[in-house]
A and B are shown apart, each in its own frame.
Chain A
Amino acid sequence: MKTLLLSTALVVLGLSPAFAGKAFISNERGNTITVVDTDTWEVLTEFDGGNRPRGITVSPDGTKLYVCASDDNLVRVFDTETYEELPSLPSGPDPELFILEESGKRLYIANEDDNLVTVTDTETREILAEVPVGVEPEGMGISPDNKFVVNTSETTNMAHFISTEDYEIKYNVLVDQRPRFAQYTADGTRLYVSAEIGGTVTVMDIAEDGEPTVAGKITFEVPNVRPEWLQPVGVRVTEDGSRVFVALGPANRVAVVDGESLEVLDYILTGQRVWQLAFTPDEKYLITTNGNSNDITVIDVEAEEAMQSIQVGQAPWGVATIE
C-alpha cells in the first residue's frame, strides 16, 4: 500500500522512476527491500522483501528483481518498476547468495544450511540440479563465458568450480578461512576469492579451459585497526580489471586494490560492517551495504572517494542496481 502511494506521488511530481537508475538493497533484519534513486540518491520506497532477505540480483533486462528470502526457503521475485511481487522461484533451503547466468535463464543458488548449490530455471521455475558442495556454501561467481560457476564454502574453506554443462565439480581450491565471495574479472582470466576470517583475498589465474591456478594473495593493513577486524567480504572489479574493490566488514572500509600489481592503494571509509558491493551499470558509482549502521555508502569510482551515505532499512545485506 505504502509502495503504491509513493509511486503515485512520484508520478504526480513528474519524477517517474522509469527514467532514473535504481539500487535495490535487501535489509536482512528489517525484511524489506529499500529502493534508492541512483541519480538523486534519495530513497524512493521500501517494500516487503520476505523473511531474512540477503542475496539480491536483477534479470539481464532489468525488469525483475530476485531476492534470496533465506527464512522463507525460496527466491522472491519482484517487478523492478511496480515492486509488485511475481511468482516465487524454488531455491532449496536457506538460500543465501546466488548468481544469474548472462542469458537470465539459470539461477545458481547457495543453500547455506544444506551444503548444496541449487540450479533453478527462472522461466519454468523448476529445479534443474542440486550440486553437493562444502559446508556453509555462500559465495557465488560465474565465469564470463558462463561455463563455470564458482561456489565458496565457508567452513570447508574451498572454492568449488562447478561446470554449467553437467553440474559436476571440476576443481576444488583450498583458500583461507571463511571464504565469502567469488568474483571473476570481465575477461575471465582472473578470479578473486575473499576469506573473511583469514583476512585475505586469494587471486587465481584462470586458464582458457577454466582451470584455476593460485597466483597470489592480497592482504590488508590499516594503521590503528586491529588486524582481526580486516574481514574481506564483497569484491567487485572494474570492467577493465584495473581496480578491485574489497569490502572489509567491521573495519568499516573498502580497500582499493590495483588489479595489476595487486597492491592496496587506499582504504575508503564507509558505514559500519560493510559487506556487499555493487556498481551502478555505468560503473560511475560503487554502492556498499553497511549492516551495523543501517545505511549504504556511495563511492565515486573514478575519484575513489566516498560521496555520501544514505539511511536504508534494518541490517542492509545485499545490493543490486539497474539503469
Chain B
Amino acid sequence: MRISVAALVASLVFLAWSGAALALDVRAAVLRVDYPSLLPVSRFDLRPDDLGFAGAVLADADNATTGSFLGHDYETVTRAVAPDKADAALEDLLADGIRLIVVQAKSEDLLRFADRAAEEGAIVFNAATSDIALRDTECRANLLHVAPSDQMMADAVAQFAVWKQWEDWFLVEGSNPADKALGEAYHRAAEKFGAQIVETRVFEDTGGSRRTDSGHVQVQRQLPTFMQDAADHDVVMAADATDYFAGYLPYHLWTPRPVMGSGGLQPVTMHGAHEAWGGTQFQTRFEELAGRYVQPEDYNVWLALRAVGEAVTRTETAEPDAIRAYALSDDFDLAAFKGQPVTFRGWNGQLRQPILLFDGRTTVSASPQDGFLHQRSPLDTMGLDQSESQCTAFN
C-alpha cells in the first residue's frame, strides 16, 4: 500500500505538457549485413528482403505519431549490405551525422561497428546476435542488446521444462561453433534450474541435403537411428543455431518425447500469432505496413527504435549519450506487448524481456515461469545475472 504523492509530484510536473515543446529531429539507421546463407529447414523461415526494416517502418510510424504532439520528428534510414561493404556503409551513416544505429550483423562485425561508432559518440543497438560473450567479456559501453542472448533463450526453455517436471534432458547439438555455444547455454541452464542432461550427442553438419525433393524420406530413416539407445529422458533439447537439423527432430525420434529449443517448442521474442497483452494490435499494424507476418528480427528492430522514441519523449533530447543514460536508468520502462515493462540491465546493456515459447502455431507459454524468483526481477532469472557477467564497461 505504497503511495508517494509528494515525492512523485516533483518529478511529474515537467511531464505535464500543454503545447510548447522543443522541436527535435531524431535520425537513426538500421544497418543489416546480409551474409551468404543456405536455405532454412522450413520455407516459413525464409528471410524476407525487408527483414528487420519493416520493424523500423512501424517504429517510425509509432514514434512519429507520439512525436507529432511534442514537435519531435523521426527518420530512420535502412541499409542492407554484403559483408565486404558493411564498414563503408557504417562510415556513410556516421558521415551523415547519424548517431543512433541498430545493427543486424554477426558478433565480430557488430563489435567492430560498435567500436568505430564509439569513436564518433554513437550508440549501437544489437537486434540480431545472441552471442553470450557480447554481454560478458566482450561487452561495450555504447552497445545495447535488444536481441536476447543464447543464455536467456536457453533459460526460458529450461524454466518451462522444469515447471513441467521434465527434468531429464537429452541434448542434441550441432557441430558448428554457434551450435556448440548454444549447447553450452543449455548445460548452464540445466545446472542453474536443477535439470539433468542425461546424454549429449552431436549431430554432424556434413553439408548434406537440407530441403530437397526426397529430403523427408532420408530424415525419416536416419534420424530415429541417430536418436536410439539414449539414456532415459523426458525431453529432447536441440541446440542448432545454424538451422540444419533441429527442424526435423519432432516426430523423428526413437523414443517419443517432446522436442524443445531450436526445434519443436522454440524461444522467440515475437511471432506472428502472438495475441496476448495487446499483441493483436501490434500484429495488425505490422501486417498493414509490411504485408506479411512479423519475424523476431522485425520486432527486435521495432523495440530498439521504440526504446529510442521513449527516451526522446521523456527526456526531450535526441543526444545519444542522454538516450543511453535514460535507457539504462531506473526511470526507463517500455510497454512491448509482453505483459510487463521491458528495461535494460545496468551491468551489460541487455534488455530484460519475457521470452515467448512458440510451437509454430501459438504461444504455448512465456518465460519467466511462475515460481522462478529473483531479488530484483523475475526477468533476471534468464540470462547473465549481475554476478555472472564479467562485463565492466558499464561500471
Contact indicator A134/B335 (Cβ below 8 Å) = no
Contact indicator A216/B8 (Cβ below 8 Å) = yes
Docked complex: A168-223 residues within 8 A CB-CB of B: 169-174, 176-178, 196-198, 202-204, 211-221
Q: A155-B335, A156-B66 are in contact. Are A172 and B17 (CB under 8 A)?
A: yes
Chain A residues contacting B288 (CB-CB under 8 Å) are 113
B12 CB within 8 Å of chain A: yes
Q: A113-B285, A197-B341 are in contact. Are A219 and B4 (CB under 8 A)?
A: yes
Contact indicator A136/B281 (Cβ below 8 Å) = yes
Bound complex: CA of A113 vs CA of B65, how far in Å? 13
Docked complex: B1-27 residues within 8 A CB-CB of A: 1-6, 8-9, 12-13, 15-19
Chain B residues contacting A170 (CB-CB under 8 Å) are 18
Chain B residues contacting A156 (CB-CB under 8 Å) are 62, 65-66, 69
Give the shortest distance, in Å, between B66 (CB) and chain A (any CB): 4
Q: Which of A112, A169, A216, A221 has the most CB of B within 10 A?
A: A216
Give the shortest distance, in Å, between B342 (CB) and chain A (any CB): 9
Bound complex: CA of A160 vs CA of B70, how far in Å? 12
A228 CB within 8 Å of chain B: yes
A263 CB within 8 Å of chain B: yes
Give the shortest distance, in Å, between A232 (CB) and chain B (any CB): 13
Q: A136-B281, A174-B15, A212-B16 are in contact. Are A264 and B1 (CB under 8 A)?
A: yes
Q: A215-B5, A217-B12, A228-B340 are in contact. Are A158 and B333 (CB under 8 A)?
A: no
Number of B interface residues in the complex (CB < 8 A): 37
The digit string for B280-299, where 1 denotes a CB below 8 A from any CB of A, is 01001100100000000000
B83 CB within 8 Å of chain A: no
Bound complex: CA of A204 vs CA of B285, how far in Å? 31
A26 CB within 8 Å of chain B: no
Contact indicator B62/A155 (Cβ below 8 Å) = yes
Give the shortest distance, in Å, between A16 (CB) and chain B (any CB): 40
Q: A135-B62, A172-B69, A197-B335 are in contact. Are A228 and B341 (CB under 8 A)?
A: yes
B360 CB within 8 Å of chain A: no
A309 CB within 8 Å of chain B: no
A38 CB within 8 Å of chain B: no
Give the shortest distance, in Å, between A66 (CB) and chain B (any CB): 22
A115 CB within 8 Å of chain B: yes
Contact indicator B69/A169 (Cβ below 8 Å) = yes
Task: Name the contact of A174 in the complex, choosing from B2, B9, B62, B314 (C-beta under 8 A).
Answer: B314
A157 CB within 8 Å of chain B: yes
B256 CB within 8 Å of chain A: no
A154 CB within 8 Å of chain B: yes
Give the shortest distance, in Å, between A156 (CB) and chain B (any CB): 4
Contact indicator A197/B9 (Cβ below 8 Å) = no
Chain A residues contacting B313 (CB-CB under 8 Å) are 157, 174
Contact indicator B284/A154 (Cβ below 8 Å) = no
Q: A216-B9, A221-B1 are in contact. Are A136 and B19 (CB under 8 A)?
A: no
B194 CB within 8 Å of chain A: no
A226 CB within 8 Å of chain B: yes
B250 CB within 8 Å of chain A: no
Contact indicator B284/A113 (Cβ below 8 Å) = yes
B339 CB within 8 Å of chain A: yes
Q: Which of B13, B61, B68, B314 has the most CB of A within 10 A?
A: B68
Contact indicator A228/B339 (Cβ below 8 Å) = yes
Q: A113-B285, A177-B333, A212-B16 are in contact. Are A221 and B65 (CB under 8 A)?
A: no
Contact indicator B378/A226 (Cβ below 8 Å) = yes
Q: A158-B69, A217-B4, A263-B1 are in contact. Are A197 and B333 (CB under 8 A)?
A: yes
A127 CB within 8 Å of chain B: no
Chain B residues contacting A228 (CB-CB under 8 Å) are 339-341, 377-378
Q: A112-B281, A173-B17, A197-B341 are in contact. Are A135 and B66 (CB under 8 A)?
A: yes
Chain B residues contacting A226 (CB-CB under 8 Å) are 378
Give the shortest distance, in Å, between B388 (CB) and chain A (any CB): 22
A43 CB within 8 Å of chain B: no
Task: Name the contact of B3 in the complex, choosing from A134, A196, A263 (C-beta under 8 A).
Answer: A263
Q: Tell me the nearest residue of chain B to A196, going by C-beta.
A: B335
Give the shortest distance, in Å, between B1 (CB) and chain A (any CB): 5
Contact indicator B15/A214 (Cβ below 8 Å) = yes
B162 CB within 8 Å of chain A: no
Contact indicator B340/A134 (Cβ below 8 Å) = no
Chain B residues contacting A135 (CB-CB under 8 Å) are 61-62, 65-66
B334 CB within 8 Å of chain A: yes
A262 CB within 8 Å of chain B: yes
Chain B residues contacting A171 (CB-CB under 8 Å) are 17-19
B97 CB within 8 Å of chain A: no
Contact indicator A134/B1 (Cβ below 8 Å) = no
Bound complex: CA of A115 vs CA of B58, how far in Å? 13
Bound complex: CA of A80 vs CA of B3, how far in Å? 41
Task: Name the contact of B2 in the complex, choosing from A154, A172, A204, A221 (C-beta under 8 A).
Answer: A221
Q: Which of B1, B4, B284, B314 has the most CB of A within 10 A?
A: B1
Give the shortest distance, in Å, between A106 (CB) and chain B (any CB): 23
Q: Tell me the nearest residue of chain A to B285, going by C-beta.
A: A113
The digit string for A263-282, where 1 denotes a CB below 8 A from any CB of B, is 11100000000000000000
Chain B residues contacting A174 (CB-CB under 8 Å) are 15-17, 313-314
Chain B residues contacting A203 (CB-CB under 8 Å) are 5
Pick 5 A–B contacts, CB within 8 A, sort by A.
Answer: A132-B68, A136-B278, A171-B18, A203-B5, A228-B378
Q: 8 tightest A-B contacts by CB?
A: A216-B5, A228-B340, A197-B335, A156-B66, A177-B335, A178-B335, A214-B12, A172-B69
Known: A157-B335, A171-B19, A174-B313. 6 other contacts (CB 8 A): A158-B69, A202-B12, A216-B6, A216-B8, A216-B9, A219-B4
